[in-house]
Structure 1
Amino acid sequence: MPVPPISGRLQWTDVPSALRTCLEDALGAPVTDTATPAGGFGHQLAAALTLAGGRRAFVKAAPDDDPLTAANVHEAAVLDALPSGAPAPDLLGIHHADGWTAVVIAHLDGPHPDLSPASGDADHTWALLDKLTSSPASAPYAAAVSTAPSTAAALHGWNELLSDPPADLAPSARDRLPQLAELEAAWPALAHGDRIVHGDLRADNMVRDHHRGVTFVDWAHATTGPACIDAASLAPQLVLAGHTPEDVARLLRDHPATASNPDTTTAFLAALTGHWHRNARKPAPPGTPGLRAYQHRAAAAGLAILNHRLAQGCAPGPPGKHHRSPQTSSASHSATPNTSRPSRGWPSTTVRG
C-alpha cells in the first residue's frame, strides 16, 4: 500500500494505469482533466473527472489494502440502498484493477452550501434532516449498513480528560468535567435507533447542486441510529459558520429530530465534543492536513452549544423522562427537499492487473 501523502490526497496520476483505463472504458471517454474539491481529511483519490465531450463524474479510489477502500465500498452500498428522494448522489459503478478499487458517483455541480445566518442553506438542510429522519430506515438501507459497525457509539473523550486535564482546557470545560464525563458515559446505551444517519455531516460533505439543491455527500460513515445524530453533529458547524451558540441551542431544542429525545441529543453532543477535545490534542495522522485545527474549532463550538443546553436544563434525567416536550420548528419546513433521483448507473467491472 502506498504511504499516504503528507500533503493531502492521492492524485489521478497515482492510480494504476489499468484502473484508469478501466474507468475511461466504463465512462465511455478519456479523462481530460481532474479536480480535487476543497475540504475533507482523507488521503484517497477523491476527484471530479472531466471527460472528452464535457461530461463529469466523481471518483474515489485507493489500494485494496487501504482502510479507506472498505469505507468507499460501504459508501457505495449505502448510495445504492438509499430511498428515492434521499439527498444523496447516485452510485454509477464500482471498478477493480491492479489491486485498487474505485467507486464512481454522479457528479454534483455547485458549491458547498453557505451555512451562515445570511443564507437560506441552513434552513434547507434542517428541512432535509427532518424528512430524512421522520420515519424508520428502509430494509435495504438497514441491510447495507449492518455489515459495518457504527463508530458513533464509541465516541468519547471527557473520561480521559477528567483523569488528566490538559493545561489548555477551557475553563468552561474544566469546571464541568465530571458532568461532561457522566453525560458521555450515558451515550452508548442511547446510541441505538432505526433512522438513517449520515454520520459525518459538515458543509464540506454537502453540495448545493444547481439542479437538486443541497445534497449530502461522503456517506462512508452512514449507519442507523437515533434521529438526533446528524442534527446534533451539524449544530457546531452552524456556530463555525457564524450562528450564535444560543440560536443553535434553540434550533436543537425545537427541531423534530432532536426535540423528540433531548436526553439522547445532549448525551451525543457531550460524547462528540469530548471526542473532538481529546483527538485535537493528538498528533495528526499522515495525509490529513488541517484535521487537528478543525477539531479544535469544532470542539469549542460544540462545547458552547452544550453549555447553553445544560443551562437550559437539557441534561438527562431518570430513564423515560425528558426535560423538554417535543416541539416543531417552522424553520424546518421552510424549504422543499429534493424529491427526484435519476436511475441507477452501470454495472460493476473487474480487471485483473
Structure 2
Amino acid sequence: MTRTFKGPQGRVKHAINGLSLRVERGEMVGLLGPNGAGKTSTAKILMTVLLPTSGKAGILGHDVVRDPQTARRVTGVILGGDAGLYARLTAVDNLLLFADLYGIPYREQKPRIRDLLDMVGLLGNERKRVESFSRGMKQRLHIARGLLHDPDVVILDEPSNGIDPVGARELRALIREQVRDGRSVLLTTHYMFEADELCDRVAVMRDGTKIAEGTPDSLKKQTDGQVVLTVTVSGVGEDHVGRLRALPGVRSVGLTEHGGSQTLDVHSGQETDVTAAVLAELRGLSVIQVSKREPTLEDAYVSLISQDRR
C-alpha cells in the first residue's frame, strides 16, 4: 500500500511507501515510528478517511476503497483528545447520537450504552457534559463510542497520549479486554512500554516505510546481545558524550535531561564491560547512580531508527 502527496516545488513525497501489514483475528499489532513516519496516514486509510494512491487495504476482506461502508461497519475507531465527541452534550447523549448514526436498533441502544458506560467506569457521570470531563474520562468515552456497534476490528490512534499514569494503566486494561474478546486491534503509539506490554507484534515505520516487524522480544534480540549501562549524573556535556561514544566496545550513547541531572544510556556488547572506562570519562562529575539492564523495546526501537537514518 502506498500513499503519496505533493511537497514543496511540486515534488512527490511518500506518506506511506509500499507498506505490507496484516493483523490476524484476536491479535494486537502496534505501529511505531517517529512523527511523520506514516502511522496516522495508515490508520486513516483503514478508517476510510484517506485513499491509498496504489495498492490495496481491506478490513476482514472488505476493500476500504470499493466497499467503504461495510469496512466502516466492522471497524471501531478510538481516537484521542476532543475529536469525535460533542463537548456540550452529556456522555449518554453522545452515545445515543452515535448509536443512531451506527443504525443500532432503538430498543438495544440504552441497555448497550449502560453496559459500555459500566465497562469503562463512567456510570455515575453519564449525565455530565463532556466539556467537564478530564482527559482520561474523555478517553474512556472514546472507547465506549468506538465499541458501540460491537466491531470485529478496532483501530486505536495514540489512545493514552496525555493521560496520567493511573488512567493510562486502566486504559491499557480495557484495551487488553478487547483482544481477549477476539477483536483484532491496530494500535499506533509513541509509548514503547505500552507496545511492549500490549502487542503481539509490532511494526516500526520511518519515512513511510516499514523497516522492521516482529514480536517485542524478537526486536529486542536485534540489539545483538547488547547490555545497557545506565548512569544518572549531573553536569554532562556534549564533549563527554562524544568521548563516551569513542570508547572501545561502546555502540551507542543516549542522553536524557531530568532537570538538574542527566541519564546516560551506554550500549555495549555483552563481551565488553565498559563500566570502568565510562566512569573514568565522567571523573570529576557528580555520579548519582550506576546500573546495568537488558535492552528494552525502546532501546531496540532507537537502534532500528538510528540504523535506518544512517
Bucket of the pairwise TM-score, normalised by the shorter protein? under 0.3
TM-score, structure 1 normalization: 0.22
Larger Rg: 2
Relative to its length, the structure with more helix (as a share) is 1
Relative to its length, the structure with more strand (as a share) is 2
